[in-house]
Amino acid sequence: MLNWNNLDTTRAFEELKKAEKVDLTKAMVGESGGERVRKYHVPMSAGLDYNFAAKNVDDNILEKLAALAEEQQLVDKYESLLNGDIINTGEKRHVLHQLTRGQLKGDVIADGVNKRAFYKEQQDHIAAFAKKVYSGEISNEKGEKFTEVVQIGIGGSDLGPRALYIALENWARAHQTLKMRARFISNVDPDDAAAVLNATDLAHALFIVVSKSGTTLETLTNETFVKNALTREGLNPAKHMLAVTSETSPLAKNEGYLAAFFMDDYIGGRYSSSSAVGGAVLSLAFGPEVFAEILDGMHEEDKLALNRNLLENPEMLDALIGVYERNVLGYQTTAVLPYSQALSRFPAHLQQLDMESGGKSVNRFGEPADYPTGPIIFGEPGTNGQHSFYQLLHQGKNIIPMQFVGFRSNQTGMDDVIEGSTSQEKLCANVAAQIVAFACGRDNENPNKRFSGNRPSSIITGDQLTPKSLGALLSHFENKVMFQGFTWNINSFDQEGVQLGKVLAKKVLAHETDGALAEYSKLLNV
């Protein structure tokens, strides 16, 4: 029997608040710092490792976090989710994204369908379709092969697939498995679609329209925009378009598409990268085998998240350290800082994943949650950020916890020794240096050159960013966000906060406005 309790009603949270704080600067200096780095880490799958030595925790705090995990029944709730219980209370839905990459518990039957079989079937359809595209069995009006793919989607239909594509584009090129170059159209700003179309060889391009409901304003608009462009070029849109949608949407069973691949209501947009939403474009771009490796990495990490021992469960631990920072230490923001240019859009995806899941003020029953919930997430790749906003992270008035990511090898294999070290070594030296600089600080007689330290960070390290380690990394954050939601007793799987804007935008377009809305509409000439 599960208890769904607000965080501030738990005994463990009271204990956690009372626990002695860790003086990070002191803890991380000298040999005790070295010991912490060796001790405070949890192995992940795909050779990744979560190191939390530079977080404000010690054995005592970790014990309290473990008690909180137990009292809030975090792993039990995860198991309940895997078993197909209605975890998305607001929309009264199952939450099944983990099922797209394997099965960890019993069969989940929904709407009379075995859901694991359904997701697997879609993956197989996509794989078969991709092979026909490569072989030329599916080709354009002139019988020529398709060479490019363009995804039309927004939010979860854009950010995750785009971040993953960018993460593996150079890797795929280096491994001769870049089958089709991918591009993405998301914004309703016509200049977004215009620029992508301008850079695309329309005659040899496939377009994937991704919308679960088949009613997303931006996506349908951009779809028509693209179809008009194809028609103007004398091309037949029906020969160039695919749909990824739910089986009941207007895009399904529609002759306007070469094929349709299906998702369903049990996978939220921001959790849909491992469904057909990411599967179609990534399978076409890199080959279905590469997409399958991403899923493998995710599944392995999903499995680790079942560990009841907090120190063997990197997702639950990361989640609880975040809760400690948010609800005990009072920090509002978390920076995600991958030292990997390939992960340049990963923070943007995590922004949606985390902020849309955790940005709630009511608990899963619609009652007030009277404590901080999801933090603000932002980030850019290092070392770039070092020359930008790190000044504030080091010397600003607010403390911003950080999550670093770093790899021992780069993806392309191209590197030079310059002044005694490779670029990859310089990159790694910088992230190591930053963690210590943030944690330990440095005194100086000139206060302007003083670093107060005590700025907490964790780092996920790995050998290389590959399809499998990328999958593990993504699953890590999905499960972290899920565990935080359980801890806060919120529903991490709905997004009612996006509705009001949609309603008002429709009013503007229908010219049914008054007061401020009418004036802003005038100002913007709409």
* Active site residues per annotation: 356, 387, 502
Q: Find how far residue 402's CA is from the centre of its chain.
A: 16
Token representation of residue 279: 């599967």
Q: How many CB atoms lie within 10 A of CB 252?
A: 15
Query: Nearest Cα to 390, choosing from 346, 343, 436, 335?
Result: 335
Q: Find how far residue 195's CA is from the centre of its chain.
A: 26
Q: Find how far residue 354's CA is from the centre of its chain.
A: 8
CA–CA gap between residue 474 and residue 346 (Å, rounded): 9
Q: What is the DSSP letter of 96?
A: -
The dihedral through the CA atoms of 72, 302, 51, 339 has a sign that is negative
Non-local (6+) Cβ contacts of 145 within 8 A are: 133, 134, 136, 139, 204
208 DSSP β-pair partners: 151, 242
- Per residue, the 3-state secondary structure of 2-25, as one string, reads CCCCCHHHCHHHHHHHHCCCCCHH
> Three-state DSSP class for 32?
helix
For residue 270, the minimal CB distance to its own copies (Å) is 8
CB distance 208 to 152 below 8 Å: yes
Token representation of residue 280: 């179609």
CB distance 338 to 404 below 8 Å: yes
For residue 75, the minimal CB distance to its own copies (Å) is 26
CB distance 470 to 343 below 8 Å: no
**Amino acid residing at 268:** G
For residue 216, the minimal CB distance to its own copies (Å) is 8
CA–CA gap between residue 414 and residue 339 (Å, rounded): 17
* Residue whose CB is less far from its own copies, 189 or 289: 189
